[in-house]
Amino acid sequence: MTDDTDPAQNDGLNEATALAQQLRLEITKAVLGQDDVIEQTLIALLAGGHVLIEGAPGLGKTLLVQAIAKTFNGSFSRIQFTPDLMPSDISGHPLYDMQSGQFKVRKGPVFTNILLADEINRAPAKTQAALLEVMQEHQVTIDSKAYKLDEPFMTLATENPLEQEGTYPLPEAQLDRFLLKILIDYPNEKNESLIVKKVTTGQLSDLLNVDSVETLIDPARIISLQRATASLQVDDRVLDYAVNITRKTRHWPGITVGAGPRGAIALVRAAKAAALLRGRDFVIPDDIKYIAVPALRHRIIITPEMEIEGQGPDQILAAVIDSVEAPRT
């Protein structure tokens, strides 16, 4: 089923919210036991942002991306980042055509709607940087010519936190391009049993399967939902609340580098999507609180002393958020 009408103008808030919730429901048919991860990834999609997902192997990161792409009939590409991966392997490169006697452009896997950059920290900085223009400008420059990507475009990059050998830290400039950093953890016992039962019943292997996910809309409708999300209202006091949280990270004990202005921008953009999923056309402080940690955890650097004491970015950010007074109606 496809529908190119703009929910911001014709369908209204209720239908836009219902459609976003239907997308979430379809994704849960394939990805079990990761409700928060699904919701936060969908928030990033609605906000037109990119996601960095950190988690151990085998927790359904690739399945999540494929399920999202199928819900709106979007194209999907996967790049396995390795130390020998070249920037041209990502963006594409000119290729000499023997028949025509001319150079033609072979477009790389970034020309897609949903791009999975698997284990992005396994490639050197030069290759990682090839994604910077793609993520920020939604275009690729090949042989001095710019090529626009199809919309919507979303990058979901994964990191494996368990292995450090043979990895390269992501540059701060690239980390800042991700709207959210989402942590994916092991499912609880009940959900893990459901996963094992689902995969081992009537299947010859543990191949990824998104057959149960239905295609609800087309890519044009996702763009309409993104416009509807961007049109949501944010009271000045709520906006100042997001800015105050971000600014507080720059002077908080245990944080050596705080979040920049892009952190507050990401916080407000993501909070709008959270409000839409909850059926509101305006953002409230609870939306800011809910998304603050995923929006800021990758934008701060904590001191070695905090790490030695077992304090991570999430714990420190929770204290920062609690210290900032939320506006009252």
Instruction: Please say if the pLDDT value at position 309 is more than 90.
Output: no
Asked whether residue 269 falls in the same domain as residue 213, the answer is no
Instruction: State how many domains the chain has.
Output: 2
Instruction: In whole angstroms, give the CA distance from residue 229 to residue 291.
Output: 15
Instruction: Please say if the pLDDT value at position 1 is more than 60.
Output: no
131, two tokens: 């994604």
Rounded average pLDDT over 259-266 = 95
Asked whether residue 50 falls in the same domain as residue 80, the answer is yes
Instruction: Please say if the pLDDT value at position 170 is more than 90.
Output: no
Coil/strand/helix, residue 200 = helix
- Say what percent of the chain tops pLDDT 70: 93
Asked whether residue 18 falls in the same domain as residue 114, the answer is yes
Q: What is the pTM of this model?
A: 0.89
The CATH number assigned to the domain holding 32 equals 3.40.50.300
Instruction: In whole angstroms, give the CA distance from residue 173 to residue 150.
Output: 24
Instruction: Please say if the pLDDT value at position 98 is more than 80.
Output: no
54, two tokens: 């950190």
Between 313-323 and 285-296, two packed helices, what is the crossing angle to 10 degrees? Answer: 150
The better pLDDT of the pair 285, 3 is held by 285
Instruction: Please say if the pLDDT value at position 147 is more than 50.
Output: yes
pLDDT band at 162 (very low <50, low <70, confident <90, very high): low
- HSE-CB of 301 using CA atoms within 13 angstroms: 10
Asked whether residue 58 falls in the same domain as residue 164, the answer is yes
pLDDT band at 9 (very low <50, low <70, confident <90, very high): very low
Instruction: Please say if the pLDDT value at position 10 is more than 60.
Output: no
Asked whether residue 112 falls in the same domain as residue 214, the answer is yes
Domain boundary among 231, 266, 287: 231
pLDDT band at 266 (very low <50, low <70, confident <90, very high): very high
* Mean pLDDT value across the chain: 88
**82 close to 121: Cβ distance less than 8 angstroms:** no
108, two tokens: 């790389």
Instruction: Please say if the pLDDT value at position 148 is more than 60.
Output: yes
pLDDT band at 2 (very low <50, low <70, confident <90, very high): very low
The CATH number assigned to the domain holding 328 equals 1.10.8.80
Closest CA to 323 of 244, 239, 243, 238: 244
- The whole-number pLDDT of residue 96 equals 72
Asked whether residue 105 falls in the same domain as residue 78, the answer is yes
189-241 pLDDT tens trace? 988 888 888 777 766 555 567 888 999 999 999 999 999 999 999 999 999 99
Instruction: In whole angstroms, give the CA distance from residue 271 to residue 46.
Output: 10
Its domain, for residue 59, covers 1-231
Max mean pLDDT among 38-47, 145-154, 205-214 falls in: 38-47
Phi, psi (rounded to 5 degrees) for 235: -65, 145
- The whole-number pLDDT of residue 5 equals 43
Asked whether residue 130 falls in the same domain as residue 104, the answer is yes
Domain boundary among 213, 231, 249: 231
Closest CA to 182 of 276, 88, 305, 270: 270
Residue 129: exposure state from Cβ atoms within 10 A (0-12, 13-18, ≥19): middle
Asked whether residue 227 falls in the same domain as residue 241, the answer is no
Instruction: In whole angstroms, give the CA distance from residue 229 to residue 223.
Output: 10
55-71 pLDDT tens trace? 887 778 888 999 999 99
Rounded average pLDDT over 302-324 = 93
The better pLDDT of the pair 97, 11 is held by 97
325, two tokens: 């007074």
Q: Is the peptide bond before 94 cis (omega within 30 degrees of 0)?
A: no
Instruction: In whole angstroms, give the CA distance from residue 309 to residue 82.
Output: 33
